[in-house]
Amino acid sequence: MTRNTRPPKSLLITGFEPFPGMPINPTSLLIKRLPMRLPDLFQNTLVQFALLPTTWSGRKSAASVLRAKLQPDAILHFGVAGKRRNISIETRAVNCATRIIPDAAGVHFPHVVLEKDAPAARYSTLPVKALQQASLRAGVPTSLSRDAGTYLCNATLWDSLRDGYKAAFVHVPPLPHPNDRTRPGYLQVEQACINIILETARRI
């Protein structure tokens, strides 16, 4: 390494595998496609991608092993929200968990909180308003959200924030049906996500 060469910053991008009710998870497509689209867009930033299991048993092991191995400077999580029609950038994770909805292995989370003796919420540590503006530049309606749900998306953001990482979570809508004009198409969402990733890389 020369005197003027800085070690690259590291950004971890995650998506999720399919889960009950979501047989095609658009964030799985993102994780497969983005490495082919992004290599030439970054300087001094190492961008790494990972697909997370949608199981409670795999939640901590997958995320903690990834973080320990890759030691990213920041983490940007992507997930799908089945009822949303546009992109949402989550401003917080809440200390709640559903015991109603099973994971991909059919297992229900046994508790109503993610962590005992912990705060009610943990707040995103990346500049969510700047990420929102980056997404909007792709022409996709994008909002800030205070409700990341009580499923694995919320839990994943909670874990990253609890462990002290710069982190944020982006919810994308499901893939639209062919005649559905109320949701953005996948390519629009992908471009918005690229904008969000580029903005994140500039901010770390």
Active-site annotation, residues: 90, 153, 171
Name the strands in the sheet holding 166-172, side by side, starting at the edge strand that comes first in the sequence: 45-52, 9-16, 74-80, 166-172, 87-90, 142-145
- How far apart, in whole angstroms, are the C-alpha atoms of residue 191 and residue 108? 35
203/34 Cα distance (integer angstroms): 19
Number of Cβ within 10 Å of residue 120's Cβ equals 9
Q: Is the dihedral of CA 46, 47, 53, 54 positive or negative?
A: positive
Tell me the CA distances in angstroms from 53 to 41, 88, 104, 187, one per residue in order: 28, 21, 8, 24
